[in-house]
Chains A and B, each alone.
Chain A
Amino acid sequence: MVPFAGYSMPVQYRQGLIAEHRHTRSQAGLFDVSHMGQLTLSGPQASLALESLIPMDVLGLAVGRQRYGLLLNDEGGVLDDLMFTRCADHLLLVVNGACKAADLAHLQARIGQRCRITPLDTHALLALQGPAAATALERVVPGVAALVFMSGGDFAWAGHALFITRSGYTGEDGFEVSVPRAGADALARALLAQPEVLPIGLGARNSLRLEAGLCLYGNELDAQTTPARAQLLWAVQKVRRTGGARAGGFPGAARVLHEIEHGCDRLRVGLLALERVPVREHTPLQDAAGQPIGEVSSGLLGPSVDRAIAMGCIDRRHADIGTQVVAMVRGKPVPMQVCALPFVPHRYYRG
């Protein structure tokens, strides 16, 4: 058990990190992600209010659909990354555990007059991930298999109202289940009783998301990192870009829109080590001449790819796929190659 975002959480269960990681890729893994912040925005102005804080299309999101979003500061840096879903009469946000108090304060200060903000401290969050997740969850909560990636809906189990989205952070098909606290323990046990399901700790959650090329707040993302630098411009819909119907109008818009047109100085990239040496966060990166060009943000030996993989932020001149760079690991050079993300293909269920 380790302290994480103010919670005591398991790094791994009895199976160990590598077995848990592989089990999630081959069967299904259950993650207790109740430390993450859940909150709702409601009222007629809620969508427009949220659009004033993130460069995403909220207004155009249909009921039952989910999107990835970035809460930005006035310089265009990322305060947090989040998922938001349009429910019938409100927006449901899921934010990072370590950021949730600051996020809530930010939302209340900036849009608290325009909509009602309700933290769902009353709810736990369980993620079931892996190719057998749909089969296992359908057995417990009939009907969920009809959901497609990045959609959600209301369900019920043992008298508890559930909100379930088909999403997650492992690159696999899977679900996130918002459940009232009173039902969380029993639901987790019911899921663990399914033959496909093992409990998965924080360690494998990290190795799975890194293989999937997904950003971790605090590693790939922070208040100094813009959407362009993080290579997350796919998440900025056209309607919010220059020339779009609701272009700009979010914090840091001038810089974010400028970088969409002109690029930025540094970029997040995938890195594959050419030797079997783990290259961890904060490892300095150099070019062939020994000049500093950036730093690793996350790195480990990927249990599924069976190679030392990493993500890092480097000078744009060295960010092309195939470029060779050098990581200085404990003073020794380890050759790495800039590579395409993800390291393991996503296997989302799109219907």
Chain B
Amino acid sequence: MALKYTAEHEWILADQGVATVGITHHAQDALGDVVFVELPEVGTHFDQGDVTGVVESVKAAADVYMPVSGEIVAVNDALRDTPALANTDPLGAGWFFKVRLSEPAQLDALMDETAYGDFAK
């Protein structure tokens, strides 16, 4: 599966029905130094577009939205102690949570790398 992107500047990478979600490089750059991340609770179901938590820099707070419907199966606890991972490695060690997809077809409507690159310009 390839990376997909939302208009709210999250990325999502699906692998066999479970997808990893984080914020994009563009999002972390716009926010600046991330100092706090509020993560959802494992086991919670969210619909696409629901607010799952928040990411905060010194200057601003931004909601984190659910890119696709599903149940949270894991969260990145390392972000609680080291929120700056969202800046230094947004697509890697700075991932936010993993979700078990309840409607995998929703992925098809999200942006691919090229479309998001144009969108975020």
Query: Could you list which residues of chain A lie within 8 angstroms of chain B, going by C-beta atoms?
Result: 11-12, 16-18, 21, 203, 206-207, 276-278, 280, 300-301, 303, 308, 330
Contact = CB atoms under 8 A, between A and B. Distances in A.
B58 A301 contact: yes
Contacts of A21: 58
A278 B35 contact: yes
Interface in B24-71: 32-33, 35-36, 38, 54, 56-59, 61
A17 B36 contact: no
Interface of B: 32-33, 35-36, 38, 54, 56-59, 61
B54 A12 contact: no
Contact of B58 (A203, A276, A277, A330): A203
B57 A17 contact: yes
Contacts, number: 38
Contacts of A207: 58
B59 to A, nearest CB: 4
A301 B35 contact: yes
A276 B33 contact: no
Contact of B32 (A17, A277, A278, A330): A17
B59 A278 contact: no
A1 B56 CA distance: 19
Given A17-B58, A207-B58, A301 B32 contact: no
Contacts of A330: 38, 54
Nearest to B87: A16
A235 to B, nearest CB: 28
A203 B32 contact: yes
Contacts of B35: 18, 278, 301
11 contacts: A12-B59, A17-B32, A18-B33, A18-B58, A21-B58, A278-B35, A278-B61, A280-B61, A300-B59, A308-B36, A330-B54
Contacts of A277: 36, 38
Contact of A276 (B36, B54, B61): B36
